[in-house]
Amino acid sequence: MLAIGTSNPMNCVRQNEYADWYFRVTKRDHLGKWKDKMKRICEKSGIRKRYLHHTEKMIHGHPELLDPTLPSLRTRLGITEDAVPELAAAAATKAIAQWGRPAGDITHLIVNSANSVAGSPGADLRVAALLGLQPSVQRTMLCLHGCSGGCLALRLAKDLAENNIGARVLVVCVEVFVLCFRGPDATRLDELVAMTLFGDGAGAAIVGTGPVNAVERPIFHMVSASQATLPGTENVVELKISENGVDFEMSSVLPKLVRENIKQCLVNTLAPVGLASDDLNGLFWAAHPGGRAILDSYETALGLEPGKLAASRRVLSEYGNMFGATIFFVLDEMRRRHRSCNEEREKGEWGVMLGLGPGISVEMMVLHAVGTGVED
């Protein structure tokens, strides 16, 4: 991994004000019981602030976003049509600047976004145009992989880079939550949790083999990637397209499922590269922060010392869960931490990148910290 870039929309929402904002904007201020519940969830979320593309004005301009009897998919896609490629391009521009080579040297582009679900060509074409990539760039568009989308896209980028000599793969994940935003529904408490959890953002990375000396400064060596599926869990997290946008369902059993299964998944991933799973505190951890309870479950199941998930907790606190884009923020935070603490000690450290998605799919990658990239 040769460079990392991130971006967010301008609109910042503080978590301690969110329940009041949400019930006012959705015109459900009279549902005091649900508002109090949301306040309790916000307090326990481990989130301080998030960035959201949608605003009060935007929601009031589109009553169909709050009325489940009216179709709103087109409205939602229309709202995100420009925002998604622009946010993606902003993150990619930072990654390209950090990389140090011209955008025209990018050979492959992978874009992951639920916001391109309804049409082709998708956001990948717009991103390529905004960045001035070559017409020969080989594009791949991914959709609806939820929170594992970033790890999954990086896994594909690793394969492309290793199987095409000289390839430079730009990976971009971008999600804008207005596709899922809706008013409170007493029959869907998981949606209330989702409204408090998700934020908008884009993350990008450039992946390639054989770094060009003096120009490219590798950050992580992507050593080995794997995916595991937890049998019988296909209904635990679901993303479904409907006339009302993307319906997001998540069961409250997820943290428990993680506690029960994650250790074995990691044993299977670490063993082939010769890493022992009895010293997991000897590794660094770049875990996608699905939610505070998910990070707690990783800590408990893996016996991690407090502080091992500090980068993930900080990203959760400052941005919320931005689906697949989040992992790039965690990797970037990790890179900064490696630089600011003892670089000599941290360089050469082994670690794991981890993310969960619908399936339940567990995406894992063994990383080797080889440097901290160029100065910010």
The catalytic residue positions are: 147
Rounded to a whole number of angstroms, the minimum distance from the CB of residue 327 to ligand CAA is 11
Closest residue to bound ligand CAA by CB: 146
Tell me which residues in 355-374 interact with ligand CAA (CB under 6 A): 356-358
Binding residue for ligand CAA (CB under 6 A) from 58, 73, 143, 189? 189
What are the tokens at 163? 């199987």
For position 291 contacting ligand CAA by CB under 6 A, the verdict is: yes
Binding residue for ligand CAA (CB under 6 A) from 14, 24, 27, 44? 44
Query: Which lies closer to ligand CAA via its Cβ, residue 107 or residue 196?
Result: 196
Binding residue for ligand CAA (CB under 6 A) from 24, 27, 40, 74? 40
x/- track of binding to ligand CAA for residues 208-247 (CB under 6 A): -----------------------------x----------
Query: Which lies closer to ligand CAA via its Cβ, residue 170 or residue 194?
Result: 194
Query: Which lies closer to ligand CAA via its Cβ, residue 51 or residue 323?
Result: 323
Binding residue for ligand CAA (CB under 6 A) from 293, 310, 370, 374? 293
Residue type at 111 in one-letter notation: V
Question: Which of these segments, 38-46, 71-79, 169-177, 336-344, binds ligand CAA (CB under 6 A)?
Answer: 38-46
Binding residue for ligand CAA (CB under 6 A) from 9, 85, 146, 183? 146
Binding residue for ligand CAA (CB under 6 A) from 208, 255, 320, 373? 255
Rounded to a whole number of angstroms, the minimum distance from the CB of residue 147 to ligand CAA is 3
Rounded to a whole number of angstroms, the minimum distance from the CB of residue 358 to ligand CAA is 5
Query: Which lies closer to ligand CAA via its Cβ, residue 44 or residue 74?
Result: 44
Cβ contacts of 65 within 8 Å, gap of 6 or more: 59, 72, 75, 76, 178, 181, 182
Rounded to a whole number of angstroms, the minimum distance from the CB of residue 34 to ligand CAA is 9
Size of site (CB under 6 A) for ligand CAA: 25
Q: What is the 3-state secondary structure (H, E, C) of the chain?
A: CCEEEEECCCCEEEHHHHHHHHHHHCCCCCCHHHHHHHHHHHHHCCCCEEECCCCHHHHHCCHHHCCCCCCCHHHHHHHHCCHHHHHHHHHHHHHHHHHCCCHHHCCEEEEECHHHCCCCCCHHHHHHHHHCCCCCCEEEEECCCHHHHHHHHHHHHHHHHHHCCCCEEEEEEEECHHHCCCCCCCCCHHHHHHHHHECCEEEEEEEECCCCCCCCCCCEEEEEEEEEECCCCCCCEEEEEECCEEEEEECCCHHHHHHHHHHHHHHHHHHHHCCCCCCHHHCEEEECCCCHHHHHHHHHHHCCCCCCCHHHHHHHHHHCECHHHHHHHHHHHHHHHHHHCCHHHHCCCEEEEEEEECCCEEEEEEEEECCCCCCC
Binding residue for ligand CAA (CB under 6 A) from 16, 252, 281, 300? 252
Binding residue for ligand CAA (CB under 6 A) from 292, 308, 314, 335? 292
Residue numbers of the site for ligand CAA (CB under 6 A)?
Answer: 37, 40-41, 44-45, 146-148, 189-190, 193, 237, 250, 252, 254-255, 290-294, 323, 356-358
